[in-house]
Amino acid sequence: MPRFLWLIASLLLLSACTGLTAWRDDASRQPSESSAAATPTALSAEIISAADAEYLLLANIYARSSPSVVNIEVRSGDETRRGSGFVYDRGGRLVTNAHLVKAADAITVTLGNAFVLDADLVGLDSFSDLAVLKVNAADARLVPLRIGESASVIVGQRAIAIGNPFGLKASMTAGIVSGLGRTLPSAALIDAGAAAGFDNPSIIQIDAPIHPGNSGGPLLNSSGLVIGITTAMQSDSGQFQGIGFAVPADTMRRVIPDLLAAGRVDYAWMGISVMPEEGGYGTAALSEALDLPVARGVLLRGVNEGSPAHLAGLRGGDRLVDIRGKTVCAGGDLIVAINGYYFDDLDALITYLVQNSRPGDEVDLVVIRERQAIDVSLVLQNRPSRDRPTIDCNTGR
């Protein structure tokens, strides 16, 4: 080997031996304080407990409430539908959705303890999408849920749904109340022969996932009280898209006793016609353009012939005006209060009529006519089974 190559090889070997010795020296040392501090330690039990508190709450609500949730199977002709419900009382009465059990040939209920029973339909109401079933079971097998109040529900509070999505027994989802004051055309979707124009008001909107099979299950708050009953989801594809809906507990409080007593519900009717509030036709959206003295209440487009509103002398609009490219029937009475309750919009008025009044009740209205407040009393009638002619700008009567 040439001398210079031998010299280079010797230097490389010496370097390798030196590096090996240094590596051995490093390996024999204990980790430094700085390297040990980089390894995280477990969090304290207090922090872990605080982080898990919400999940412990949900687990507790599930453990207390899921025995009350039932699976419902409905056979109607060649069709089989599945959904949810819950125990209302120890008399064997169950609450669910009307759209689930309508036109049922046979109804089978599976209780939370897996006990299977046949059920009879006590009554249903298409307008609220509520129904009551009856099973014969020992008291010990029935665990009723407590019905809360929905008037105090606020956007942002916890919303917990328990049901049987896709037939999966007693599944829980949780989220928040994401909206209030929605309306659903429940009767039109359930019964093609139902009187038109009567929406299901004060619907609770939630972001807790609900899927086919959840319908009829309870919507609970953090105390485990029923604040609603899940009824529908917003979907263009058949899959949950972040919006679900529930009939409020206060509507249940009004409807269920009537279904138990008579198998049906009679609703109060005023006989007014208004512009649709969506799309910028509501009182708040029109107040400035029409120079209204207030930006709340219900602006009448017309009244139905022979209705309580007509008999009490309420007036619909008398002229058509163009506002931001929309044709509006203007000049009608503006109702701002009923029985001392001042409301913001049509949903609030309908909610009051549904939850707090009955046919035959006399109510006192505060009405603004030509910028002056007047008092008007009228006697509510039962909702008509068919449309009544409307007196408004289009009829000129």
**How does pLDDT run across 7-54, given as a tens digit for each residue?**
334 433 334 334 434 444 454 555 555 555 578 899 999 998 888 999
Return the pLDDT at 5: 40
Cα 105 from Cα 253, distance rounded (Å): 28
Q: How far is CA 95 from CA 111, 134, 144, 159, in A?
A: 13, 9, 10, 19
Per-residue model confidence as pLDDT tens digits over 274-298: 987 776 788 988 999 999 999 999 9
Asked whether the CA dihedral 124, 126, 127, 129 is positive or negative, the reply is: positive
Q: How far is CA 222 from the centre of its chain?
A: 16
Where exactly are the structural domains of the chain?
64-141, 158-262, 268-392
Return the pLDDT at 241: 63
Asked whether the CA dihedral 129, 134, 137, 143 is positive or negative, the reply is: positive
211 a catalytic residue = no
List, in sequence order, every residue forming a beta bridge with 121; answer none if it has no partner: 133
Q: Indicate which residue of 84, 128, 215, 273 is catalytic.
A: 215
Q: Indicate which residue of 99, 126, 128, 171 is catalytic.
A: 99
Q: What is the mean pLDDT of residues 345-351?
A: 94
Return the pLDDT at 169: 86
Return the pLDDT at 102: 95
Q: Indicate which residue of 125, 129, 250, 347 is catalytic.
A: 129
pLDDT of 195 strictly over 90: no
215 a catalytic residue = yes
Q: What percent of the chain has pLDDT over 70?
A: 87
Q: What is the pTM of this model?
A: 0.84
CB count within 10 Å of CB 5 equals: 9
89 a catalytic residue = no
CATH annotation of 64-141 = 2.40.10.10
Q: How far is CA 84 from the centre of its chain?
A: 15
Q: What is the mean pLDDT of residues 180-185?
A: 92
Altogether, the residues listed in the chain come to a count of 397
Q: How far is CA 242 from CA 37, 47, 159, 209, in A?
A: 44, 31, 13, 7
* DSSP strand pairing (341-342 vs 319-323): unpaired
- Cβ neighbours for 89, distance < 8 A, ≥ 6 positions apart: 142, 144
Per-residue model confidence as pLDDT tens digits over 249-274: 999 999 999 999 999 999 999 999 99
pLDDT of 139 strictly over 70: yes
- Looking at domain 158-262, what is its CATH homologous superfamily? Trypsin-like serine proteases (2.40.10.10)
Class of domain 268-392: mainly beta
Task: Check for a shared fold between 158-262 and 268-392.
Answer: no
Return the pLDDT at 24: 46
Contact 150, 248 (CB under 8 A): yes
